[in-house]
Chains A and B, each alone.
Chain A
Amino acid sequence: MSTPSTIRIAIADDHTVMRSGLAELIRTLGDFEIIMQVNNGLMLLEALARAEVLPHICILDINMPELNGYETTMRLRTAYPQIPVLALSMYENEFSIVKMLRCGAKGFLHKGADPEELLLALQTVHSGSYFHSEMMLINTIRRAGSAQSMNITDRETEFLENCCSDLSYKEIATKMGVSLHTVHGYRDTLFSKLRLKSRTALAVYALKKGVVTD
């Protein structure tokens, strides 16, 4: 039974076992209602076009037949900018996750995420913010202050911008005209300054802080 505070969710994933398992798990988490479960992005867009009530959040798998997660997210951003997208990823392949973020996703969730993390992800994207599993750390940074107060140099900012692309570190090094070793240095310095551990967390930080605009 849905109440005004119920968060409505749509899930698009071509793996039926996974999708129904996720829907069931979300139901156990509290005031959530799964209003759509579809196989792919195209079916999701069709369902949304027919829907009388729209979901508050769309959870999308990245690899789907007919219309993949990237394309679906871009179309959702245009047609339904008020609905945040949470990318669902089997594996933490940074290139595909960063690409999803640049397409407009508000965060990504690993398919092996525990229920607490899932709950936090849903609440965070519903509140309009970005989610990353390292977000508690990101929030600490937000409270700590701006990029300037974190002493992030211009070159590190440039590196951060490039982290939000689908370039590998090797390709970033070529683009910035420095060695791979130097790029690793920027990365490690930023990990240390921002207390983060992964490139995807850096990308979420950059998007959240407006270093790059989505």
Chain B
Amino acid sequence: MIRHIQSPTLLWGLIFMLAGALIVLLLRYRHYIHHAGLQAAATRQYDYEILRIRHEVEREALDLVSHELQDNIGQLLAGSYMQLAIASERLQDRNELRELIGPAVGGIVKSLKALGQLSLVLNAQTVEKMGFIDALEKEFAFIASVYRLDCIFSCTNQVPELNREQDLMLFRIVQEALATICRHTSAQKAVIDIASSGSRIRIHISHNGIPRATNTTHHSDLHHLRERMKLLNGSLAEQTAPGTGGSLILTCNLTT
């Protein structure tokens, strides 16, 4: 077409027109990209805020439960324990009755111990004060006594310095992962290995139970875990090894 245009003015006019149109298109495209980017960033920020609010609500709820376990339910149970212990003491010469009461007393003492351990790891302030690693030790003790899940812990290298919020978030994630394993895999042993590189932390939790549970609650639990990981800019992967169990790999980046 350009060959048929004889007038240079007309040619330049056409070129300018095309260039103008291109510039307008580019500007519009840039505006669109910018707008879309802003929208995506806003959506991400919104999702993050929702997660944070959920985390805050959960913190309040768990603190309340911890308080109730300690101050009300536990105290009632301790009172009942005392009464049974008195009855048992008074039945010195009635072995038959003592044998009946004995397991009940033992059961209550065990429940009291488990309630104490649970109350401790549900309380956000205590977890933050202890820090991630020490809180994990307490969680393992609770899991071992209630679920009979033996947890072995190892740290490939030193875990980076975490602030109180990160301590709590990371702890809640591992706590939920372990609860998921306890609920769905019938495992007897779990190995938790933590490796870190700079601000990046990788937590590998392997177990000797059912490799991958297929029920809906398991999927829902994993979904919740993935959501939690987003708060720490992280991800969750599930690995299975038929015959030997399965594992959850939690990776997060603590810089953001």
* Residues of chain A having any CB pair with chain B under 8 Å: 15, 17-18, 20-22, 24-25, 28-29, 63, 90-93, 95, 110-112, 114-115, 168-171, 179-181, 184
* Option from A29, A92, A180, A184 in Cβ contact (under 8 Å) with B116: A92
Instruction: Give the residues in chain B near A170, CB-CB below 8 Å.
Output: 129-131, 133-134
Residues of B within 8 A of A24 (CB): 82-83, 86
Q: State in angstroms the CA–CA spacing of A184 and B70 once bound together.
A: 28
Q: Quick one: CB contact mask for B143-158 with A, threshold 8 Å, 1 for yes? A: 0000000000001001
Q: Which residues of chain B have C-beta atoms less than 8 A from A29's C-beta?
A: 89
Q: Is B206 an interface residue (CB 8 A)?
A: no
- Smallest CB separation, B239 vs chain A (Å): 28
Closest to B71 in A: A63
Write 10 A-B pairs (CB below 8 A) sorted by A numbering. Answer: A17-B79, A17-B80, A18-B75, A21-B78, A21-B82, A21-B83, A25-B82, A112-B113, A114-B109, A181-B155
- CA distance in complex: A154, B13 (Å): 90
The one of B76, B86, B89, B109 in contact with A112, judged by C-beta atoms closer than 8 angstroms, is B109
Is there contact, CB below 8 Å, between B75 and A95?
A: no
Would you call B81 an interface residue if the criterion is a C-beta within 8 Å of the partner chain's C-beta atoms?
yes
Kindly state the separation between the CA atoms of A125 and B82 in the bound complex, as whole angstroms.
Answer: 21
Q: Name the residue in B71, B81, B115, B120 with the highest tally of chain A Cβ atoms < 10 Å from its Cβ.
A: B81
Contacts A171-B129, A181-B158 aside, 15 further interface pairs with beta carbons under 8 A come to A17-B75, A17-B80, A24-B82, A25-B89, A28-B86, A28-B89, A28-B90, A29-B89, A63-B71, A91-B74, A95-B126, A95-B129, A111-B74, A111-B81, A115-B89
B190 to chain A, nearest CB (A): 20
Does any Cβ of A come within 8 Å of B247's Cβ?
Answer: no
Contact B70 A22 (CB under 8 A): no
Interface residues of B in 95-124 (CB under 8 A from A): 108-109, 112-113, 115-117, 119-120
Q: Are A18 and B78 in contact (CB under 8 A)?
A: yes
Q: Residues of A contacting B74 with CB < 8 Å? A: 90-91, 111
Known A168-B134, A180-B131; contact A17-B90, beta-carbon cutoff 8 A:
no
Asked if A25 and B70 make an inter-chain contact with CB atoms under 8 angstroms apart, the answer reads no
What's the nearest-Cβ distance from chain B to residue A175, in Å? Answer: 14
Scan B46-65; emit 1 where CB is below 8 A from any A CB, else 0: 00000000000000000000
A179 touches B158 (CB 8 A): yes
**B123: shortest Cβ distance to chain A, in Å?**
9
Q: A85 CB to closest chain B CB, in angstroms?
A: 19
Q: What residues on A are CB-neighbors of B85 within 8 Å?
A: 25, 114-115
Taken together as a complex, chains A and B put the C-alpha atoms of A46 and B238 apart, in Å, by 62
Q: Which of B78, B86, B116, B130 has the most CB of A within 10 A?
A: B78
Distance in angstroms from A96 CB to nearest chain B CB is: 10
Minimum Cβ distance to chain B for residue A32 (Å):
13
A169, B131: Cβ atoms under 8 Å? yes
Contacts of B131 in A (CB 8 A): 168-170, 180
Please state if A15 and B79 are interface contacts (CB–CB under 8 Å): yes
- Contact check: which of B115, B126, B134 meets A169 at CB < 8 Å? B134
Bound Cα distance A25, B129 (Å): 36
Known contacts A24-B86, A25-B85; decide if A90 and B116 are in contact (CB<8 Å): yes
Instruction: Across the interface, name the chain B residue whose C-beta is closest to A19.
Output: B79
The distance in angstroms between the C-alpha atoms of A211 and B78, with both chains bound, is: 34
Question: Is there an interface contact between B82 and A169, defined as CB atoms closer than 8 Å?
Answer: no
Q: B83 contacts A90, CB within 8 Å?
A: no
Residue pair A21, B113 in contact (C-beta under 8 Å): no
Q: Which of B83, B119, B133 meets A91, CB within 8 Å? A: B119
How many angstroms from the CA of A168 to the CA of B116 in the assembled complex?
18
Known A-B contacts A21-B83, A24-B86, A63-B71; A112 and B133 likewise in contact (beta carbons under 8 Å): no
B90 and A112 contact, CB distance less than 8 A = no
Least Cβ–Cβ distance between B64 and chain A, in angstroms: 15
Instruction: List the B side residues contacting A90 at CB < 8 Å.
Output: 70-71, 74-75, 78, 116
Residues from chain A with a CB closer than 8 A to the CB of B115 are 91
B154 to chain A minimum Cβ distance, whole angstroms, is 12
Tell me how far the C-beta of B72 lies from the nearest C-beta in chain A, rounded to whole angstroms. Answer: 9
The one of B86, B116, B130, B155 in contact with A25, judged by C-beta atoms closer than 8 angstroms, is B86
